Structure 1
């Protein structure tokens, strides 16, 4: 079954003066206009297959293009507003025809030149549209889709008083609480994250920090390297401000204290007089 808003490899059926027709299966024959034909004529000989994206033309007929969109229906993407009209805002999504975000689908009023994370969907006429109201389309509950501590790809979507909303592996929404933001992030960033314990309402909490044991090992190595680069000592102790620790090591104060404890127990550092000092093993 061929769906609007998706990419397919379709067979060339016949040539006409204004392009070629492709086998659209249940959508019948689909036109690929002449302007989208590859330069190599052999690529679109009858019987060959072409990778094309399917959408609707101005008369609501399925039509194909060899242009590659930045996102397809069902995807979330960070796209830039290029124009506004009486219907809404238009986004650049890599195709000649810009993508509409109707006013009612804008979480906040969109501005030309700014970029937003949006979800692509088919409206009630079957046309491709986009929405920045992600919660309307993207599930927020973890119903067995992810394991606790699982590593995931995050697209940072928006900021709130609680932290940052993020799209998880392109399929779900989660929240990175402010205290879990251990390095600068902003909307549109792609980062690695980890699934935390589910909230009482089933919604997904996220962290940018690796599981504690792994973090402590890596962080301990960073601390040793930092001490070696700075004359063997530092005034960043377990009493230092979280912001100061984060600025140097991009880690929470809790994990920093645990890493220091690990180094202290291994007799690799001393902690005294508001300083940590590397023990010379020579």
Structure 2
């Protein structure tokens, strides 16, 4: 069965003047029209890796890798604001709508915001800034660790809610949140304490900001010195990371996360690649 919002292996069912139609290999009644032209070497029943979405009542497929797949959370850029909401760049030819009803505060063209990709009632892809219930609470950090995260909500009575690593729910209490902050802003912080449920309580710290920036610069230098590839990633052992970069695994992940958010690198389980 074709899965909307996910990359999957599909087969070429047939070709028309519109292009190639793909299906799951079982049900020929469900077809997705591929956006891009296929290489002439691709024949009927050959397999293609494609991302599927719905638009104007029909299914479409793209061989491009989107920034997010169904259910994932990440930073996306607003490309246009309309009367029904804001359209954001998903990395495909088709932008995705962030409806006004799923927006927290104001959003601005050209800015990045933390959002989750979901299916609306009509099975079309849509985005929401209401991500709190989908963030994890048991973060792998301890008191005094330096972290980086993105503001996803600001509450005048509680403080600033931050998604550390775009994944873990955390809070900067209002007494710590001195200054002007905006939803979508990415900040460095220090872990002040860890609640019983694993949720982080943070404080803003200049030391964290400078350290993460310095580690990210060091990682960029290493990538440039090694033809744009380092054979370490999320699944690499701490000793391998330390030997190659001089960083702990947590320091490496923070620096790599910063570069990833800035679209400087791609991250794989056992390597990072300079874009």
Query: How many residues get paired?
Result: 205
Q: Is the 8 A contact 1:36 1:67 kept in 2?
A: no
Which residue, 50, 62, 67 being the options, matches 1:65?
62
Instruction: Establish whether residue 17 from structure 1 lines up as the match of residue 17 from structure 2.
Output: yes
Q: Is the 8 A contact 2:32 2:52 kept in 1?
A: no
Which residue, 148, 151, 158 being the options, matches 1:157?
151
Unaligned runs of 5+ in 1: 181-185, 210-241, 252-282
- Corresponding residue number in structure 1 for 2:126: 129
Q: Is the 8 A contact 1:155 1:168 kept in 2?
A: yes
- Corresponding residue number in structure 2 for 1:183: none
Report the TM-score when normalising by structure 1. 0.57
Distance 1:156 1:47, change over 3 A: same
Shift of 1:111: 2.3
RMSD: 4.1
Shift of 1:64: 0.9
Distance 1:14 1:250, change over 3 A: closer
- Corresponding residue number in structure 2 for 1:260: none
Q: Is the 8 A contact 1:83 1:112 kept in 2?
A: yes
> What is the SS of the residue equivalent to 1:41?
coil
Shift of 1:113: 2.6
**In structure 2, what is the Cα distance between the partners aligned to 1:102 and 1:248?**
33
Shift of 1:99: 0.9
The aligned runs of 1:175-186 (5 Å cut-off) are 175=171
> What is the SS of the residue equivalent to 2:70?
coil
- Which has the higher Rg, Structure 1 or Structure 2? 1
Q: Is the 8 A contact 1:78 1:188 kept in 2?
A: no
Shift of 1:36: 0.6
- Per-residue CA deviation, residues 193-246 of structure 1 (Å, 9 max, x unaligned), is 8796334xx36115699xxxxxxxxxxxxxxxxxxxxxxxxxxxxxxxx97xx4
Distance 1:208 1:53, change over 3 A: farther
Instruction: Establish whether residue 173 from structure 1 lines up as the match of residue 169 from structure 2.
Output: yes
Q: Is the 8 A contact 2:23 2:32 kept in 1?
A: no
- Corresponding residue number in structure 2 for 1:2: 2
**In structure 2, what is the Cα distance between the partners aligned to 1:248 and 1:87?**
37
- Corresponding residue number in structure 1 for 2:40: 41
- Corresponding residue number in structure 2 for 1:205: 200
Shift of 1:159: 6.2
The aligned runs of 1:87-98 (5 Å cut-off) are 87-98=84-95
Report the TM-score when normalising by structure 2. 0.59
Distance 1:163 1:250, change over 3 A: farther
